[in-house]
Structure 1
Amino acid sequence: MSEHLPDGVERHAFGGDGDGTDRLATRGEPVYGEPTDDEWRAWDPSRSKLGAMLELEMQTDLAGDDTVLYLGAASGTTVSHVADFAGPTYAVEFAARPARDLLEAAASRSQLFPLLADARKPDTYAHVVESDVDIIVQDVATRGQARVALENRRFLADDGRLLLAVKARSEDVTRDPSAVFDDVREELEAEYEVLETKSLERYHADHLGIVARPL
């Protein structure tokens, strides 16, 4: 089976991990204590929903030099890897504490632009984020995850992609995750065509990866 890895993401063997397995990696300054080998830094899918989507060979259509809007950047674990190979990368994070770590991750990445903002309120950063971004990556722990994707649809190019990690327990901890996933997908279909879905259970409990394109 062929892999769908973006330019700038490769498999690399890191010494000292004990099992000799090649791991996803990008070139850049380390951020969170990840294994490194010269300029390479390991991308751990158990700490990254997008990394899990790549490990599971979802067809993300991510490419080198893409313009990316990343919703739910937290302290920069995943978005720093994205900025290692992508073009302008706008990283939206609402909480002040992880945003401070995100600023540190951006210090060595001139194309990474941290935004202290709420992904549910895109009007607050619409004056900064360029229109027609190639990729929206969404990893937010909140109710209304489909609504966040719909509200941020305005930034996505007509041929762009939404890469969404749905957290069932953030929507409703009392419901069966599969029912939550069905509801999110149905709501998304108002403005997106869902191209692929895949459980991220191997790396993240009660998560579903979705690849979609705007209608």
Structure 2
Amino acid sequence: MSDDLPAGVERHTFEGTDRLATRGDPVYGEPTDGDWRAWNPTRSKLGAMLELEMETGLEGGDEETVLYLGAASGTTVSHVADFAGPTYAVEFAARPARDLLETAASRPRLFPLLADARKPATYAHVVESNVDAIVQDVATRGQARVALENRRFLDDDGRLLLAVKARSEDVTRDPEDVFADVRAELEAEYEILEARRLEQYHADHLGIVARPQPR
């Protein structure tokens, strides 16, 4: 397994298995090893991308800023806030947002935002410009459009880390056709650096790493 992981993400042995881990309070019943907690790739698209050795461009550290779209109750974004700097977590549904608030209580770098990722103007006054990474896991139609609309926050040298859920776009179509359409739409604003199926951990999902096109 590659050692090219963000600072603050390490491999530890949990219950006899070598797994990714971050240092922080447990959130979703994951195994722990002292201050370290396992990062479950079957519950995290970004965790799956790291396990599959995709080149995410994440470096970790207090200076790295992240905008996370589709934070839900905090399963993945809690790991991000464990190793990165200011992490803005956008979630639209009120019930998981309440859990997200609890997750953020012990993470001063995690900033929950009850907002719709399809309407970035509603949180533009909070999120700083030029974030280092956008992590997107939004189960909705128009996933490429969400990434395009939130491009405004991303540094010119930043990275988009997008998990495309084919069944959320159109449950009747072949996932490969859905993925092709999403990629084509993204290319209006992004250069796709890597795309890989996450099938080992998540059915009908595509992981994409992209950087903004020069303006």
TM score, norm. by length of structure 1: 0.97
What corresponds to 2:70 in structure 1? 72
> Secondary structure of the residue that 2:185 maps to in structure 1?
helix
Question: What secondary structure, in the 3-state scheme, does the structure 2 residue paired with 1:170 have?
Answer: helix
Corresponding residue SS for 2:76: helix
Per-residue deviation at 1:64? 1.3
* Aligned residue among 14, 20, 25 for 2:21: 25
Shift in alpha-carbon separation, 1:208–1:3, aligned structure 2, 3 A: farther
1:125-157 CA distances to partner (integer Å, 9 max, x unpaired)? Answer: 000000000000000000000000000000000
Q: What residue number does 2:2 align with?
A: 2
Q: Distance in 2 between matches of 1:71 and 1:84?
A: 17
| 1:164-204, Cα deviation, whole Å (9 max, x unpaired) | 00000000000000000000000000000000000000000
SS at match of 1:91: strand
Matches within 5 A, 1:1-215: 2-14=2-14, 17=15, 20-65=16-61, 66-215=64-213
Which stretches of structure 1, 4 residues or longer, exceed 6 Å deviation after superposition?
none
Distance between the aligned counterparts of 1:2 and 1:120, measured in 2?
35
Gaps of 5+ in 1: none
Q: Is the 8 A contact 1:68 1:87 kept in 2?
A: yes
3-state DSSP of counterpart to 1:120: coil
> When the two structures are aligned, how many residues end up with a matched partner?
211
Residue identity in the other structure for 1:23: R
Q: Deviation string for 1:67-118 (max 9, x for gaps)?
A: 0000000000000000001000000000000000000000000000000000
CA distance in 1, matches of 2:197, 2:2: 19
SS at match of 1:4: coil
Q: CA deviation at 1:37?
A: 1.1
RMSD (CA atoms): 0.7
- So what's the TM-score if we normalise by structure 2? 0.97
Secondary structure of the 1:80 match is: helix
* Amino acid in structure 2 at the alignment position of 1:52: A
Q: Which runs of 5+ in 2 are unaligned?
A: none
CA shift, 1:4, in A, is: 2.7
* Deviation at residue 3 of structure 1 after TM alignment: 3.8
The one-letter amino acid paired with 1:81 is H
1:100 and 1:62 mapped to 2: Cα distance? Answer: 27
> 2:113 and 2:189 mapped to 1: Cα distance?
25
Percent of aligned pairs with the same amino acid: 85
Matched AA of 1:11: R
